Copies of this chain bind each other. A is one copy, B any other.
Amino acid sequence: MNETVLKPGVECVDIALGERSYQIRIGSGLIGTDSSFDDLAVGQSALIVSNETVAPLYLKRLEAALGTLHSRVQNVVLPDGEAHKHWATLNQIFDKLLERQCDRKTVLYALGGGVVGDMTGFAAACYMRGVPFVQVPTTLLAQVDSSVGGKTGINHPLGKNMIGAFYQPLRVICDLDTLSTLPARELSAGMAEVIKYGPIADMTFFEWIEANIGDLMARDAKALALAVKRSCEIKAWVVGQDERESGLRAILNFGHTFGHAIEAGMGYGSWLHGEAVGCGMVMAGRLSHSLGLIDQEFLRRLESLIGKAGLPVVAPVLDARDNVGRYMDLMHVDKKAEGGAIRFVVIDGPGRARLQAVPDDLVAEVITRSCATP
C-alpha cells in the first residue's frame, strides 16, 4: 500500500487479505475530498452507481472529487430499496457500462447503502470478468457491515442474496457526514449491528457503547467514528480467519436467525433488517440464558442497550393462531438450518459466541416469552 498523508481526524482500518488487501477510511467530509481516492491505481473512466435517494444529496460532491482523477466520470441512478435488488436493476449498470464502451480498467463507485453496495460490487465482479470498485457507504449499516467481507450479490425471487460473488473493493470510504441525513430508523437499524460486535467478541467495546449510546444516537461524529472503526476491526478479525464463510464467520449472524424469521414473517420491508436483528439479539440472548451460558444481569444490559438504540425489544406475533409454529417453520427453511435441530449463534459467556444446535422446545419457549400478547 502506498504511503499516504491522511487528513487529521481520518481513522483507518487495514483489511489484510494478501493481494486483495484494502483500506477503510473513516471521517468527516471524505466524499468531497479528492485525496480520499487519489492514490488508487485506476483507469481513465469512472462510473458512480447510486440511487434516487442518495444521488440528490451526495452525487455532485463525489463527481467533483473524482473529476480530478478520472477524465470521464459517469453515473447511473438506480431505484431505491431492497425490492429492486435483482437482475433487471443490475443490468442497468451493465447497459451503461457497455453503452459508454467502458473498458476493463473502469472503476465503479458504489454511493449508497447496502443494496447499492451489493449490486455495484457484483457488477464489478462480473463486468468483463472483473473491474475495480470502491465502496462509499452512506448508511451506518453499510459502513459497519458491508465494508468488510466482500459479499456482493442480488436476490432471486426464491431467495435473498442467492446470486453473487465474494469480491473485494479497492477501498472503502466511510464519510460520517452522510449519517447526518440518515432517517432515525435507519440509524437505529445500523446501531443493531454495532451493538452486535460487543457480546460476540469484545466486552470492552460493549461497555464503551453502553457509556456512549447517548452521543451515538445524537450522531456525534467522534463517537460514530470510533463505533464504525471498532466494528470494522472486529468484523475484519473474524472474516480474516474465515474469508469464505466456512466456520467462525457464522458468529456474525448473532440475532440473525430469529431476525430473518421476523423479516420474512412480517413481509420484507415492514421491519428493517437491523430492527429485526436487534429484536433477534434479545431473543438469542434469552436463548443463551436458557442454556445457562449468560447470567440474568448481562441479559438485562443487552436488552437495555438495544432499547436505548431505538430498536424493538418485543418480538412481533407472526401468526395469531400458531405463532410458535410459524417462527419455527421460517427458521427451518433459513439456509443455515441443515436438517434436524436449528443451529443458533449463542453467547458463550459475554464477549464470546458460538454456533449450537438448540432443541425445539427451548426455542419455542423463548419465542413465547419474547412476543407481544396477540
Contact flag A166-B129 (CB < 8 Å), given A87-B87, A87-B91, A91-B87? yes
Kindly state whether residue A237 has any CB partner on chain B within 8 Å.
no
Which residues of chain A in 93-132 are interfacial with respect to chain B, using CB atoms and an 8 Å cutoff? 94-95, 98-99, 103, 125-130
- Contact between chains at B103 and A164 (CB < 8 Å): no
Residue from A94, A127, A244 with most neighbouring chain B CB atoms (10 Å)? A94
Kindly state whether residue A301 has any CB partner on chain B within 8 Å.
no
Q: How many residues of chain A get a CB closer than 8 Å to chain B's CBs?
A: 26
- Contact between chains at B127 and A165 (CB < 8 Å): no
* Tally of this chain's copies: 2
- Contact between chains at B162 and A128 (CB < 8 Å): yes
- Contact between chains at B151 and A129 (CB < 8 Å): yes
- Contact between chains at B87 and A158 (CB < 8 Å): no
- Contact between chains at A98 and B159 (CB < 8 Å): yes
Main secondary structure of the interface of A (DSSP, over half): mixed
Contact of A156 among B94, B130, B156, B244 (CB under 8 A): B94
User: Which B residues are CB-close (under 8 A) to A103?
Assistant: 335, 338
Question: Min CB distance, A78 to chain B, in Å?
Answer: 17
- Contact between chains at A165 and B162 (CB < 8 Å): no
0/1 string, A145-185, CB within 8 A of B gives 1: 00000010100101100111110000000000000000000
User: Which B residues are CB-close (under 8 A) to A164?
Assistant: 126, 128-129
- Contact between chains at B162 and A94 (CB < 8 Å): yes
Question: Min CB distance, A44 to chain B, in Å?
Answer: 11
- Contact between chains at B94 and A130 (CB < 8 Å): no
Contact flag A165-B165 (CB < 8 Å), given A98-B158, A158-B95? yes
Contact flag A162-B98 (CB < 8 Å), given A151-B129, A335-B103? yes
Question: Min CB distance, A120 to chain B, in Å?
Answer: 14
Enumerate the 3 nearest inter-chain pairs by beta-carbon distance, A residue then B residue, closest first. Answer: A98-B158, A129-B164, A126-B163
27 residue pairs bridging A and B, Cβ less than 8 Å apart: A87-B87, A87-B91, A94-B162, A94-B163, A95-B156, A98-B156, A98-B158, A98-B159, A98-B162, A99-B158, A125-B165, A126-B126, A126-B153, A126-B163, A126-B164, A127-B162, A127-B163, A128-B164, A128-B335, A129-B151, A129-B153, A129-B164, A129-B165, A129-B166, A130-B165, A130-B244, A165-B165
- Other than A94-B162, A94-B163, give 17 A-B pairs with Cβ distance below 8 A: A87-B87, A87-B91, A94-B156, A98-B156, A98-B158, A98-B159, A99-B158, A125-B165, A126-B164, A126-B165, A127-B162, A127-B163, A128-B335, A129-B164, A129-B165, A130-B166, A165-B165
